[in-house]
Amino acid sequence: MTTSRDPDYSLIFNNNQRWVARVNETRPGFFEALARQQAPKYFWIGCADSRVPANEVIDLAPGEVFVHRNVANVVPHSDLNALSTLQFAVDVLGVQHILVVGHYGCGGIKAVLDNARVGLADNWLGHVGDVMERHLIELDALPGMQARHDRLCELNALEQANNVCRTTVLQDAWARGQRVTVHACVYGLKDGLLRDLNFNVQDSKSVASQFVAALNALRGG
Protein backbone atom coordinates (compact mmCIF):
# COMPACT_ATOMS: atom_id res chain seq x y z
CA MET A 1 0.00 0.00 0.00
CA THR A 2 1.41 3.36 -1.01
CA THR A 3 0.53 6.66 0.54
CA SER A 4 1.06 10.13 -0.82
CA ARG A 5 3.50 12.34 1.00
CA ASP A 6 2.56 15.59 2.58
CA PRO A 7 3.74 18.37 0.21
CA ASP A 8 5.80 20.02 2.96
CA TYR A 9 7.54 16.70 3.66
CA SER A 10 8.09 15.99 -0.04
CA LEU A 11 9.76 19.37 -0.41
CA ILE A 12 12.81 18.28 1.58
CA PHE A 13 13.37 15.24 -0.65
CA ASN A 14 13.02 17.32 -3.80
CA ASN A 15 15.46 19.87 -2.41
CA ASN A 16 17.87 17.11 -1.42
CA GLN A 17 17.89 15.65 -4.91
CA ARG A 18 18.55 19.04 -6.47
CA TRP A 19 21.36 19.66 -3.98
CA VAL A 20 22.98 16.29 -4.72
CA ALA A 21 22.78 16.94 -8.45
CA ARG A 22 24.30 20.39 -8.03
CA VAL A 23 27.16 19.12 -5.85
CA ASN A 24 27.92 16.24 -8.20
CA GLU A 25 28.10 18.69 -11.08
CA THR A 26 30.28 21.28 -9.37
CA ARG A 27 32.38 19.01 -7.11
CA PRO A 28 32.73 15.55 -8.66
CA GLY A 29 33.77 12.93 -6.11
CA PHE A 30 32.69 15.07 -3.14
CA PHE A 31 30.40 12.49 -1.54
CA GLU A 32 32.87 9.64 -2.03
CA ALA A 33 35.57 11.63 -0.26
CA LEU A 34 33.18 12.75 2.47
CA ALA A 35 32.16 9.18 3.24
CA ARG A 36 35.75 8.08 3.84
CA GLN A 37 36.50 10.33 6.82
CA GLN A 38 35.41 13.15 9.12
CA ALA A 39 38.22 15.52 10.06
CA PRO A 40 36.78 18.93 10.96
CA LYS A 41 38.95 21.66 12.47
CA TYR A 42 35.98 23.44 14.00
CA PHE A 43 33.38 22.56 16.60
CA TRP A 44 30.37 24.90 16.68
CA ILE A 45 28.24 25.09 19.82
CA GLY A 46 25.25 27.22 18.94
CA CYS A 47 21.58 27.90 19.38
CA ALA A 48 18.98 25.61 17.80
CA ASP A 49 17.36 28.65 16.16
CA SER A 50 16.56 27.77 12.55
CA ARG A 51 17.92 31.13 11.37
CA VAL A 52 21.48 30.30 12.45
CA PRO A 53 22.78 27.43 10.27
CA ALA A 54 26.38 26.81 11.32
CA ASN A 55 27.85 25.69 7.99
CA GLU A 56 26.29 28.54 6.04
CA VAL A 57 27.18 31.25 8.55
CA ILE A 58 30.89 30.42 8.33
CA ASP A 59 30.69 29.22 4.71
CA LEU A 60 32.13 25.74 5.30
CA ALA A 61 31.15 22.58 3.47
CA PRO A 62 29.80 19.39 5.07
CA GLY A 63 32.64 17.62 6.88
CA GLU A 64 34.42 20.84 7.86
CA VAL A 65 32.50 21.75 11.03
CA PHE A 66 31.18 19.53 13.83
CA VAL A 67 28.00 20.95 15.37
CA HIS A 68 26.09 20.86 18.64
CA ARG A 69 23.00 23.03 19.04
CA ASN A 70 20.42 23.60 21.74
CA VAL A 71 18.09 26.34 22.94
CA ALA A 72 20.19 29.42 23.79
CA ASN A 73 23.58 27.69 23.22
CA VAL A 74 23.93 26.53 26.82
CA VAL A 75 26.76 24.28 28.08
CA PRO A 76 26.01 23.29 31.67
CA HIS A 77 28.32 20.81 33.37
CA SER A 78 25.33 18.58 34.09
CA ASP A 79 24.35 18.08 30.43
CA LEU A 80 25.74 14.73 29.27
CA ASN A 81 24.56 15.39 25.72
CA ALA A 82 26.68 18.53 25.37
CA LEU A 83 29.61 17.03 27.27
CA SER A 84 29.60 13.82 25.23
CA THR A 85 29.56 15.78 21.99
CA LEU A 86 32.36 17.99 23.29
CA GLN A 87 34.43 14.96 24.30
CA PHE A 88 33.93 13.34 20.89
CA ALA A 89 34.92 16.56 19.13
CA VAL A 90 38.10 17.02 21.19
CA ASP A 91 39.28 13.47 21.90
CA VAL A 92 38.13 11.61 18.79
CA LEU A 93 37.98 14.21 16.02
CA GLY A 94 40.77 16.40 17.35
CA VAL A 95 39.14 19.72 16.53
CA GLN A 96 41.41 22.75 16.84
CA HIS A 97 38.79 25.43 17.48
CA ILE A 98 35.62 25.39 19.58
CA LEU A 99 33.24 28.24 18.83
CA VAL A 100 30.49 29.00 21.33
CA VAL A 101 28.13 31.14 19.29
CA GLY A 102 25.22 33.15 20.63
CA HIS A 103 23.02 35.27 18.41
CA TYR A 104 21.14 38.52 18.70
CA GLY A 105 17.38 38.07 18.60
CA CYS A 106 17.54 34.80 20.56
CA GLY A 107 14.07 33.72 21.70
CA GLY A 108 15.45 31.91 24.73
CA ILE A 109 17.25 35.04 25.90
CA LYS A 110 14.09 37.09 25.38
CA ALA A 111 12.01 34.65 27.41
CA VAL A 112 14.43 34.94 30.32
CA LEU A 113 14.50 38.74 30.19
CA ASP A 114 10.70 38.94 29.94
CA ASN A 115 10.27 36.34 32.70
CA ALA A 116 7.95 34.54 30.28
CA ARG A 117 6.85 30.94 30.74
CA VAL A 118 7.40 28.79 27.67
CA GLY A 119 6.91 25.33 29.20
CA LEU A 120 9.40 22.57 29.90
CA ALA A 121 12.17 24.67 28.37
CA ASP A 122 11.89 27.04 31.34
CA ASN A 123 13.95 24.54 33.32
CA TRP A 124 16.67 24.59 30.67
CA LEU A 125 16.59 28.37 30.39
CA GLY A 126 17.24 28.57 34.10
CA HIS A 127 20.93 28.36 33.13
CA VAL A 128 20.52 31.61 31.19
CA GLY A 129 18.66 33.04 34.17
CA ASP A 130 21.73 32.30 36.28
CA VAL A 131 23.83 34.32 33.82
CA MET A 132 21.36 37.18 33.98
CA GLU A 133 21.43 37.23 37.78
CA ARG A 134 25.24 37.33 37.85
CA HIS A 135 25.22 40.42 35.64
CA LEU A 136 21.95 42.00 36.76
CA ILE A 137 23.41 45.34 37.85
CA GLU A 138 25.11 45.79 34.48
CA LEU A 139 22.01 44.76 32.54
CA ASP A 140 19.68 47.03 34.53
CA ALA A 141 21.98 49.99 33.86
CA LEU A 142 21.59 49.66 30.08
CA PRO A 143 19.17 52.00 28.27
CA GLY A 144 16.22 49.93 27.10
CA MET A 145 15.18 46.33 26.58
CA GLN A 146 16.94 45.93 23.21
CA ALA A 147 20.29 46.88 24.70
CA ARG A 148 19.73 44.50 27.60
CA HIS A 149 18.74 41.71 25.23
CA ASP A 150 21.83 42.16 23.06
CA ARG A 151 24.12 42.31 26.08
CA LEU A 152 22.66 39.16 27.63
CA CYS A 153 23.18 37.35 24.30
CA GLU A 154 26.85 38.35 24.51
CA LEU A 155 27.23 37.60 28.20
CA ASN A 156 25.62 34.19 27.80
CA ALA A 157 27.99 33.25 24.98
CA LEU A 158 30.94 34.31 27.15
CA GLU A 159 29.68 32.42 30.19
CA GLN A 160 29.04 29.23 28.20
CA ALA A 161 32.50 29.43 26.57
CA ASN A 162 33.91 29.80 30.07
CA ASN A 163 31.97 26.68 31.07
CA VAL A 164 33.50 24.77 28.16
CA CYS A 165 36.99 25.74 29.31
CA ARG A 166 36.31 24.43 32.80
CA THR A 167 35.07 20.99 31.72
CA THR A 168 37.28 17.99 32.37
CA VAL A 169 37.37 17.47 28.59
CA LEU A 170 39.27 20.71 27.96
CA GLN A 171 41.28 20.60 31.15
CA ASP A 172 42.56 17.11 30.27
CA ALA A 173 43.21 18.04 26.63
CA TRP A 174 45.30 21.05 27.62
CA ALA A 175 47.11 19.05 30.30
CA ARG A 176 48.33 16.59 27.68
CA GLY A 177 49.44 19.41 25.39
CA GLN A 178 46.65 19.21 22.83
CA ARG A 179 46.22 22.35 20.77
CA VAL A 180 42.60 23.47 20.95
CA THR A 181 41.27 27.00 21.39
CA VAL A 182 37.89 27.98 22.82
CA HIS A 183 36.24 31.08 21.36
CA ALA A 184 33.12 33.09 22.19
CA CYS A 185 31.23 34.76 19.36
CA VAL A 186 27.83 36.28 18.63
CA TYR A 187 25.97 36.28 15.33
CA GLY A 188 23.80 39.09 13.99
CA LEU A 189 20.56 38.07 12.31
CA LYS A 190 20.11 41.54 10.82
CA ASP A 191 23.45 41.70 9.02
CA GLY A 192 24.70 38.10 8.93
CA LEU A 193 27.99 39.02 10.59
CA LEU A 194 29.83 36.95 13.19
CA ARG A 195 31.42 39.00 15.97
CA ASP A 196 34.40 37.94 18.08
CA LEU A 197 33.84 38.52 21.80
CA ASN A 198 37.57 38.61 22.58
CA PHE A 199 37.56 35.33 24.48
CA ASN A 200 40.11 33.03 22.84
CA VAL A 201 41.54 30.54 25.33
CA GLN A 202 44.32 28.07 24.58
CA ASP A 203 45.27 26.79 28.06
CA SER A 204 43.81 26.33 31.52
CA LYS A 205 45.96 29.03 33.13
CA SER A 206 44.48 31.85 31.09
CA VAL A 207 40.76 31.05 31.45
CA ALA A 208 40.04 33.46 34.31
CA SER A 209 42.11 36.34 32.96
CA GLN A 210 40.67 35.95 29.46
CA PHE A 211 37.14 35.97 30.86
CA VAL A 212 37.73 39.18 32.80
CA ALA A 213 39.42 40.80 29.79
CA ALA A 214 36.52 39.81 27.52
CA LEU A 215 34.00 41.28 29.96
CA ASN A 216 35.97 44.52 30.13
CA ALA A 217 36.18 44.70 26.34
CA LEU A 218 32.42 44.16 26.13
CA ARG A 219 31.87 47.04 28.53
CA GLY A 220 34.23 49.28 26.61
CA GLY A 221 36.89 49.15 29.28
Q: How many helices (H) and strands (E) does the chain have?
A: 10, 5
Q: How far apart are CA 186 and CA 169, in angstroms?
A: 23
Is 47 a residue of the active site? yes
Is 106 a residue of the active site? yes
Q: Which of 5, 18, 22, 51 is catalytic?
A: 51
Q: Which of 47, 153, 165, 185 is catalytic?
A: 47
The residue count for the chain:
221
Q: Which of 6, 27, 36, 49 is catalytic?
A: 49
Is 51 a residue of the active site? yes
Is 103 a residue of the active site? yes
Render 17-84 in DSSP notation, one character per residue. HHHHHHHHHHSTTHHHHHHH----SEEEEEE--TT--HHHHTT--TTSEEEEEETT----TT-HHHHH
Q: Which of 68, 69, 106, 127 is catalytic?
A: 106
User: For residue 178, what are the β-bridge partners?
Assistant: none
- CA neighbours within 13 Å on the CB side: how many for 83? 11
Q: Which of 69, 103, 148, 183 is catalytic?
A: 103
Question: Of 80, 67, 82, 98, whose CA–CA distance to 174 is shortest?
Answer: 98
Q: List residues with catalytic annotation.
A: 47, 49, 51, 103, 106
